[in-house]
Amino acid sequence: MEEVAQIAGRKRKRRENEGAPGPSQLGTGDSKRPPGRLLPRSFFYPAPELVAPRLLGKLLVHNTRAGVLAGRIVEVEAYLGPHNLEPDPAAHSHRGVTPRNRVIFETAGHAYVYSIYGRYFCMNVTCEPEGQAGCVLVRALEPVLGIARMARNRGLAADAPMREIASGPSRLCQALGLTRPRHSGLYLANEALVTARIGIRQAVELPLRFALPGHGCVSGRKSLVGTRVAIV
């Protein structure tokens, strides 16, 4: 089974409290089941130069209300955090924390999406423990699911050559429908929701129920209120 970094989830708690929008609901109609299994947060803990080659071959998945868009990661670049002995002036974290790059300095496994030229977007995956600010830029994908929709998102014909659809960081964001306002700060790794147990009358306060957040097959969906934890 292939491993997946999935762009569908909640933003960091701070963003939720600020009323930021949740995950987008761009449709494809090709499939409603995301492929593979989500990566654990521990995958993103190492330095970016170690995470980057391990991301090659993984699927980047945008799970939408109408279907799934997915591409296999075939090219990445590592950007080093300011704690490194050798500085990386090309990294967005080089000059420290700003409102634009704050997500890089927080916990590993989040999407960091930034805009270029005022109209295009590029997506990074954050790495390392909080405060160290390493990240990996996703530069190119091989489309594997929802290909016709990905091509249309790029303004191309449905039968366009594969390499024209998502070869380049801005092209792949267009193809998957990714933008900074909707997707920067989303968690990419696997999470569980911890809640009180249901259907019982004793010890109901104990947080001993575990479920996949937002999954349509979970029982008692109205009671899915609790704490999100990383599956490491």
Structure tokens at 153: 């998102």
Q: In this predicted model, which residue has the larger pLDDT, 102 or 4?
A: 102
Q: Indicate the pLDDT class of residue 30, thresholds 50, 70 and 90.
A: very low
Predicted TM-score of the model (pTM) = 0.73
pLDDT at res. 78: 93
- The number of C-alpha atoms within 13 Å of 34 and in the hemisphere containing its C-beta is 19
Range 3-189 classified under CATH 3.10.300.10: yes
Average pLDDT of span 203-214: 80
Structure tokens at 167: 């070869």
Q: Would you list the domain boundaries of the chain?
A: 3-189, 190-232
pLDDT at res. 81: 86
Report whether pLDDT(164) > 90: yes
The SS3 of residue 143 is strand
pLDDT in tens, 124-158: 999 998 888 899 999 999 999 889 999 999 999 98
pLDDT at res. 84: 82
Give the burial string for 66-97 (b: 16+ CB within 10 Å, else e): ebbbbbbbbbbebbbbbeeeeebeebbbeeee
Cα–Cα–Cα angle for 73, 145, 212, rounded to 5 degrees: 85
Strand partners, 211: 193
